[in-house]
Amino acid sequence: MTMQQHDAAAALVKMANDIADYFRSEPQRELAVEGIANHIARYWEPRMRKKILAYQAEHGGEGLNELARAAIARLAQRQGPSA
């Protein structure tokens, strides 16, 4: 990974964590995970989604908070094995 690609991944990690922080106060964890996944699906351009999924797969979600990791795993699940 080049430095530039690393920076791009860092920006996506921060964005995902920020979204997850909003949903942190949701008392039902399932709703929080679904909410984060839906938000990313609804507002992120496909290349960005692909990158965060790849980042999670390659780096084990390093730097992502727990809810964000769960939501990205949910997105990966939705997209199936080809994602």
Partner 1 sequence: MLSIVELDFGTPRSRSAQPVALTIDGREVSVPAGTSVLRAASEAGIAIPRLCATELLEAFGSCRLCLVEIEGRKGYPASCTTPVEAGMKVTTQSAQLQKIRRGVMELYLSDHASGDEALPTEMRRMIEAVGVREVRYGFDGANHRQAVRDESNPYFRFDPAACIVCSRCVRACDEQQGTLALTIEGRGFDSRVVASQDEGFMQSECVSCGACVQACPTTALTEKSLLAQGPAQSSTVTTCAYCGVGCSFRAEMRGEELVRMVPNKDGHANHGHSCVKGRFAIGYATHADRILKPMIRARIGDAWREVSWQEAIAHTASEFRRIQAQHGRDSIGGITSSRCTNEETYLVQKLVRAGFGNNNVDTCARVCHSPTGYGLKQTLGESAGTQDFDSVMQADVIFVIGANPTDAHPVFASQMKRRLRQGAKLIVADPRRIDLVRTPHVQADFHLCLRPGTNVALLTSLAHVIVGEGLVAEEFVRARCETDSFAKWRAFAAEPRHSPEAMESVTGVPAADVRAAARLYATGGNAAIYYGLGVTEHSQGSTAVMAIANLAMATANIGREGVGVNPLRGQNNVQGSCDMGSFPHEFPGYRHVGDAAVRASFEQAWGVALQAEPGLRIPNMFEAALDGEFRGLYIEGEDIVQSDPNTQHVTAALMAMECVVVQDLFLNETAKFAHVFLPGSTFLEKDGTFINAERRISRVRRVMRPKSGHADWEITQLLSNAMGYPMEYAHPSAIMDEIARLTPTFRGVDYAKLDRLGSIQWPCNEDAPEGTPTMHVHEFVRGKGRFMLTEYVPSTEKVNAKYPLILTTGRILSQYNVGAQTRRTENSRWHGEDRLEIHPQDAEDRGITDDDWVGIESRAGQTVLRATISARMPPGVVYTTFHFPFSGANVITTDNSDWATNCPEYKVTAVQITRVTQPSDWQQRYRAFSDRQHALLGEAGANAG
- Which residue ranges make up the site for partner 1 (CB under 8 A)? 4-5, 7-8, 11, 15, 18-19, 21-22, 24-27, 39, 42-48
Q: Which is nearer to partner 1, 11 or 57 (CB)?
A: 11
C-alpha–C-alpha distance, residues 38 and 1, integer Å:
28
Q: How far is the CB of 59 from partner 1 (least distance, A)?
A: 17
Contact status, residue 43 vs residue 75, Cβ threshold 8 Å: no
- Please state at what angle helix 29-43 crosses helix 3-23, rounded to 10 degrees: 130
Closest approach of partner 1 to the CB of residue 11, in Å: 6
User: Nearest approach, Cβ of 39 to partner 1 (angstroms)?
Assistant: 7
- Report d(CA 12, CA 25) in Å as an integer: 22
